[in-house]
Structure formats: structure tokens, C-alpha cells
Amino acid sequence: MHGDVAVMRVEIHSEVRMSCAASSPDPVALPAGGGRGIRSRVVVTRRLRQHVYESGSADGEPLLLLHGNVASARFFEELMLALPEYHVVAPDLRGYGASEAKPVDATRGVRDFADDVHALIKALGLHQVHLLGWSLGGNVSMQYVIEHAERVLSLTLLASGSPYGYGGTSGVDGQANYADYAGSGAGLVSPVIRARLQARDFGAASVFSPRAIFRRLYVRPWHYMPRVREDALVEQILLMALGDHHYPGDSLPSRNWPFVTPGAFGPNNAVAPKYLNQRALADVRRKVPILWLRGDQDRVVSDAALTDPGTAGKLRLIPRWPGTAVFPPQPMLAQLRAVLRQYAAHGGEYREVVLANCGHSPHLERPGECVAVLRSFLRRASPAPRTLVDQIAAVVRPAPAPRSQWELPALRAVNDA
């Protein structure tokens, strides 16, 4: 623990690690059925036609799931089926899945996505929601809390991106390596990868194919997934809108290494530090409980992410790297942790949970542990008992003291990194 929890007021922010051998059985059984119980529809909001999946109890507390880049809401299928007590809503973000492919104005950071979420919540008649964001969805979720904290019951950051964007920064305070933010944005996406996406490559013959990239980056190496499920997810990737106004966006040349700088459109530019700075999360007046859940083998979001140009340059995967003094690997985890600690220092509370033997997709790789941690967190964050059974349980078994409010099953607390 990070000191004595009893004297920490509300800044309960120790890191927790879950150890589980790669071959051990999943501790929480997930419903079978390949998507049975998940409903699909298009909701017309004031901003766009947004496709959503829904599951669970119509009377349950709303849980909104926001997916990551180069993905869709279909990636949450197992998670949705495992939480039948909640009214789970998982939208395809604009340009992904079956949602309308409107351009992304990157000069607004991720506000286009966050504004879409707000319009959807209002269109569905929801007052407050539990919010979970994976990867890019984590940045969208943080932006939503910054702007609409009164609408949020809790925030779960699932392998979330850094609050200072992706690429081009150093230090825990997200200082830009260059004034023009070279080394971030859409220009980092290889033309070969773009070509494979344009060709709708469904195979794995090329290491640049969406399927090969999924196997290499989305999940930890050698993670087993049934072929029918992998096919469904690759198919969802290939539904993504492509181009200068969509994925990955436009780019501009730079005199600074690696000689590209962000353009003005697309999701990859939206998370470029030129336009994205979410330090304001620490200062929101209404503090909601935050869970940060991630894998210990994440290759996409880490302090040495393989897709970060600083790391790639250090590994000589990108030539002419100027060295650590000029362009070090981006400390993505340290940057997010620093903002969350500031959030705690200003009266909030958060907990970091790390899943062992897990990559960038805890909900796909370790669904049992992911559900166990998430369910415990959501129950503690609920404003009131939801059902008669819950009310009886609350009387028979009084709520634990604040010292124990963040205890999670089968976890071992360790000191903060």
C-alpha cells in the first residue's frame, strides 16, 4: 500500500496486481452463446446516426463502454454478456463499426467523440452513467468527465491512452519534444498498413495485415482466441472509415525527426499532443471514483510502447533516431499516473489494477479477472442498492468502513511503481 490507507482521506490510489498463470482457468465463468442477449440498433442523435449494442437489465444502472482505435463496440461482447445486472450500452464511435462516418476534427482533440457520447446519453434519456473507456476510449472518457462530470457515476480507464496524447512528448508533465509536435499524429501509420486496410486484407500472410497486427499488438503474444471470434473482430476492424478525414487522418512534413507532424483531421491526430491535453481531469470540481485497469504486457500503451516512435527509434526500427536526450520513449503510464495522483491530491480517489500475463485488451485476454475487478468497483461506486436483494444484503451485511471500500477479490496490494 502507498502508506496507511486509514490516513489517506480519499486519495486511495495504491497499485494492485493480479497474478494468474497463463494456463490457469479463468476465475469467473462467462456466459456462452456467441452474442445472444445483445441487442443492436441505430440511435439518431443531434450529431450523427450512431450504432449501439445494448445488453442486460433495462432497470439496471447504465454502463457505457467506449472502444479503442481501429476497433468497434463488438470488442466488448464478452464483457457485456458478463454484466447482466447493468444496462450496458456500447456505441460504435463515429467512423467505426456501423456508425455514421462523419469526419473527426482533430483540432478539438477528442471532443468530437465526447460530444457524440453526450448527445447519445441525452438521446437515450440517461441521467447518469458508469463510464468505461478502452485505449482511445479512455481518452474520450476522460474528456467527457472533464466536461460533464455531473453525468458520470464512475470512470474506468481500461488500458487508457496518456492524458498527453500519443507520441512526441517526454516527462510526466507531457512536455513536447519539438515545437511542431513532430513524431505524433497520423503520419506515424505506415503506408503499408494503410494499403492493407484499404485492400480489406482479411488474411494473415502479411505482417502488416490487420489480423497480424491484432495478434501482435492488441493481445499479448501467443494469446489463444477461437478463430471464429478473431474473424469477427478483424471484420469489425475492416468496417472502419479510412482517409484523411477519418482513420488515420492527414499529416504534414516536418524538419524534425521522424519528419512528420499532425494534420487537422482523423482520430490519430485527435490524440496528438498538439491538440490533446487532459491535465484538467485533476481539477474537475465533482470527483468520481476512478479505476485504472491494465495489463502488464501492454505493447501499445506503456512506458516503452512498441508503436511509440521514441521506442521504435531506440530499437532502430525507425532510422536516424536523434537519441534519448531529444526523443525518448514516451512515459505513457507515468504520465497518466501523475495526473491521477494530482486528481487524488485534489480530493478524488483512484486505484490502479494490473493484470499479469495480459496485453492491451484485458477484456479479451483476462475476461474473468477483468469482470471481477470491474463488478466490485461498480458496486462500490453505485449511489444506492439497485434491487430488493441488494437492499436486504445491505441490511444483513453492513457496508464496510472507508478503509476497505476499495478491496477487490483475489488481489494483492503492492507499493506504487
- pLDDT recorded at residue 384: 64
Report the residue count for the chain: 417
Percent of the chain with pLDDT over 70: 83
- pLDDT recorded at residue 58: 86
- pLDDT recorded at residue 27: 33
Say which residue the cell 519539438 belongs to: 178
The DSSP bridge pattern shows strands 129-134 and 62-66 to be parallel
Inform me whether the pLDDT recorded for 251 exceeds 70.
yes
3-class secondary-structure state, position 314: helix
- Single-letter amino acid, residue 380: R
- Mean of the pLDDT values across residues 65-93? 98
**pLDDT interval class at 108 (50, 70, 90):** very high
Inform me whether the pLDDT recorded for 272 exceeds 80.
yes
14-18, 76-80, 109-113: range with lowest mean pLDDT: 14-18
- Mean of the pLDDT values across residues 68-81? 98
Question: Structure pTM?
Answer: 0.87
Q: Does domain 5-413 have CATH number 1.10.260.40?
A: no
110-124, 205-219, 376-390, 398-412: range with lowest mean pLDDT: 398-412
Inform me whether the pLDDT recorded for 25 exceeds 90.
no
Estimate the crossing angle of helix 136-148 against helix 111-123, to 10 degrees.
Answer: 70
- pLDDT recorded at residue 69: 98
One DSSP character per residue, 336-357 reads: HHHHHHHHHHTT--EEEEEETT
3-class secondary-structure state, position 340: helix
Inform me whether the pLDDT recorded for 56 exceeds 70.
yes
The DSSP symbol for 23 reads T
Is the separation of the CB atoms in 15 and 296 below 8 Å?
A: no
Say which residue the cell 486519495 belongs to: 11
Per-domain boundaries in the chain: 5-413
3-class secondary-structure state, position 329: coil
Say which residue the cell 494492485 belongs to: 16
Higher pLDDT, 173 or 27: 173
Question: 3-state DSSP: the chain helix, strand, coil percent, rounded to 5?
Answer: 30, 15, 50
Higher pLDDT, 307 or 14: 307
**pLDDT interval class at 100 (50, 70, 90):** very high
Please report, for residues 78, 110, 140, 176, 229, the alpha-carbon distance to residue 83 in angstroms, rounded to integers and kept in the order given: 9, 28, 22, 41, 19
Higher pLDDT, 314 or 11: 314
